[in-house]
Every structure is written in structure tokens, then in C-alpha cells.
Structure 1
């Protein structure tokens, strides 16, 4: 439990109302009850605030004088403040140092490191202070992981890959697998190209469950500082992703694409290879990016959902656009000939 005024003293914001009220957790307006701190990030949900049982609420500046007498914390960005409060109330589990007897370790590790049962750590591995390696992980030879990083159960990191400080890698992720590199014989047979680069990951990067990041063919695949990567994402070889970019689930990024800093890539977007995407670009969910994007902004290339019969009718019209264009050109030509006669 924590007093609201103590929360404001620690995280900032303007306190309006009784600061002695105790809060224990954050909750949505609909689900909040006694001892809960809620937030209103979108003014259109103001009606839910009036009916909410939250003990206190985080509001934006525009909603400062909302019709409620409960304590409120007024901030510029309620959602960001909520995130900080949630982290304060739900800290990451403490690392308990030690190597489990059922782990296999071929490198010298700091005493502050935790290695769980079934983990395999190869030769010449360098782990920073306070690193946690989950059960069943496989950490290849020559891997380096910075201080404070947490590798959750059953992650595989191939040889010689580098991870920075304070990273979080979720279960099932594979870092450093071979890129999809093949040359073709005249017969049609494929010749595998050895993938000899690495994956180099910056500080404070989060990688979601079952995501795969391929090692570079010759140069490295590089993930910048503060990048957030969701679950089930495929990142091809030699891709470079700039600092603080966020990528939602099921995105596929083909090899040698360079994505700038602070970009946001929506779920199930696809990006073909050898493209360049500028800083501060937003790619909408489901968009297929087939050419480079050189200017910041929001880019969308998909259709909204519609009844099947409407889609069939609209697509039928699309199929006849070329014929329609030919007819229009013919009519224009006839009009021009008539006017000139």
C-alpha cells in the first residue's frame, strides 16, 4: 500500500484532493475497486470515471476538473504515468544468484549470475553482473550478455551474438539462427551460403516469445538501444533497426532492410528486403511495404474489413478498371476529334 501523496512525491504530477488515500495497485476504470488507482487516458471514457469505484485516478490536464471528488493525479500523459506506477507496484523478480546443479556451464561466471536447471552455457561466454539465465536455455560459445539482462526459459542464443545491458528475452526466442541465404544452380538446386555474421543487440531491448532474429550473412544484424519487439516476429539477416523502434506481433522483415529510429510497425505488417525506412515512420497493421520510405509519417496499404458480398462486388470492379480506362481514353479521343472538326 502507498499513499497517493507519496506516489506523487516519487513520480511527479499535480495532486488534487486527499493525498492520504492508500492505493495498492493499478486497475482499469471498469474493474477498479477499493485501494485501486485507475487512469483516464482518453476523454471519451469520462462516463466510466463517474461510475468507477477507484480510490484515486490519474487524469490528463484537460480532464483536471472532471466531475469526481476522489483524489486525482494530474499529468501531461496519463498512460505513461500509469505505466510508471505499474512498474513501481510490480517490480521484476529479484535475481537469486547461483548455478543450478542440473545446468551445464563451460565458462567462468560472476557470482551474481543466476543459471536455472537444464541451461547450457558454452565456452568463452561473458555474462555481466546480475544476469539471469532461465531453465532450458542454450547460450552458445562466445556469447556476451550485459549486466542486468534476463533470459527467460528455453531461449536459444547462437554463438558469438551480443546482447546489451538490461535486456529481456522471452521464452522460445531464437537469436542468431542462420539467415535465409542460398544461391541457385542452373539445375534449380540450392547452394547454402554460410552465415558468418552475428546478431548485435543494444541496451534495454525486449524480445518477445518465439521471435527469431537471424545472424548476418557477412555483416551483423543490428538491433538498436531501447527497441521493443513483440511475439512471433521474424527478422532476417543483416537487418538494422534503429533506437526505440517498436514492432508488434507477427511482423516479417526480410533481409538487409534498414529501419530507422523511433518507428512503430503494426502487427502482421510485412517488409520486403533491401529497403530503407526513415526515422519516425509508422507502418499500419497488415501493411505490405514494397518500397523504401524516405520521409516520416504514417503509411497504410490495406483494406478495412467489409461484408464478403461487398468485397466481391468491389473487387469485381477493380478487375475491370483497365477496360474502363481504355473506354474513357477512347471517348476522350472521339470528343477531341469532334471538337477539332
Structure 2
């Protein structure tokens, strides 16, 4: 029997299972896992499926993957928002399309079910094909194509950091399935270099904590650079005893960002700091195992007044990583497994010259 994650003194295995069950409870009849507002996006949906897989809720997770297959478009993307089975926002985001590789690779690591991975392989190939079509000469990946197929004119640091992990996971999955994709490796190298060394390539979203920790979480920044990055903005984004802020200019901590920060700290080899952040955010836990999205600590109110599946999913994934419980617990640690190669097209060589 698979061992459920538990983090001593912070969260028990039974509590982790109840949190995963709170995700299954909001899954719709078609297999989609919606936001509290009712729409579904592919990225958060996949994160919820990963949490279900960790908890052993395999049937529910597979229903969710079937949902993804049905709603993927021929170009490999998913609508930005889907409501009642129809696109509510038709543009396709590159980081949504890339995350399918993370989800399928994670499922294979946890379950060992290669037949399922092979069945999902065409979906992964189409998703990463959409991503590759948005990579610039320098290496960053534009954040979306609009409903008419026009690419955006800028990239996002958080999105590209997540895409870096998607490309790495896709390449590992390709090797396992005997269909190597060297172009994905090269694209990940170029993207990882730009994420780590070219902040000018991205729109300024620095008020968001995700732009602070995601380059580490997605694997592009590791080692002393990761520690330096954390130290530089720690006091800006971390509220002792409560967790991580969503944005620097609001007194608002959020559970998902706190757990993702814990995952990033763990991936950077800072498990004690990760455990502290993970413990601090547990005040958001509801008695039924769900998690409040956030806490406004000046007004002392939950904000928004909701529980969210993606927050619960982040809790389960963080617990798994910190407990080293399942074979998929290292999926964020392993995203930084190799150093990006510089192609000479990013501007570094010209700058040195």
C-alpha cells in the first residue's frame, strides 16, 4: 500500500487524505476541478490531479486527465478559462499547455503506469508543440496566443519558470517512452538561461511573490543563486507565523503561494525554512480538510471568503515533497537537474564582447 505523506508536528497522513478528498468533492461530473468562481483552467486543474494522485485517489485523477484530453484543442492549447464545458476565455496560455507534461510525468513516477503515460503521450506532444511555437530567438516563451491565434508581445517570468519545468519533465517522459525529443531539451536550456540571467526579457510583475520564488521552483535557478534570491526579498514577501504574501503591497497571505514557496525552498536545499513556512500557513486549514485561499491580516478576515481546490492541492504536494513520501515527491527538486547551456543568441556573448 502506498504511504501517504505526513509531516510530523505539522500535518498527519489522515489530514493529507482529507485535504485531497476536499478536492475530489468539488470535481464536476465531467472530471473538471473548478475554481471557486466556477471556471476551470488547465494549469490549476492539473495541479489538483497531481494531488489526487499523491493521495491514491486514482480514479478521480484519471477522470481529470480524460477531461484534459477532451478539451485540448488541435493546436495543443486549452482555452484560458472553461465554464460549463465551453470556452469562457478563448486565448491559450503557454504555461497551461506545458503543465500537462509535469502532470503525466508525475503520474508515471507515482503509479508506475506506463500504459497510461503512453495513452497521454499525444496530448503531451501537442501541448509542448504549442509551447515551442511561442519561443523567441532569445529563449523566453510568450505567454499566450489570443483567440485569433496571434502571439502575445511579451513573456511572464512565473509562466516561463513553470514552462521550464514542463519542458524538463517532457524530455524525461520522452526518454522513458522511447521517443526522445532533443528540441525540448534545447528549448529548456535556452529558456532556463533567460529566466536565470535576463530579467529584461519579462514584463515587470515583481510585486507578485511568484516572480520571486518561481525561478527556483521551476528549476532554472539553484545553488547559491537560489539562496541569494530568497534572502533578497524574504522580508518583503514572508510574514512570520502566517506564510507568504501574494503581493508585496497588500497585507494578504495566501495558502497556495506559501506552499509553493515551501516547495521552492525544499528544492533549493533549505528544508528547515520550507518546514517553517509550511507550518505557518496551517492556520488556513478548515476542519473538513479544505483550505481557505488567504488571510487579510490587518482586517483579520479570510479573503477571499472561499476554500479553493488549488490551495488544497498545493498543500498535498508540499507535504509529499517535505515527507519524501511518494516516488513523485522530488518532481520539483529534480526540475533543476542540469545547467542551461548558452546559445549565443541571448545577448550574453555580445555583452561580454
Structure having the higher strand fraction is 1
What is the TM-score of this pair, normalised by structure 2?
A: 0.22
Under a length normalisation based on structure 1, what TM-score does the superposition of the two structures give?
A: 0.23
The structure with the larger Rg is 1
Structure number with the bigger relative contact order (C-alpha 8 A, sep ≥ 6) is 2
Pick the structure with more helix per residue: 2
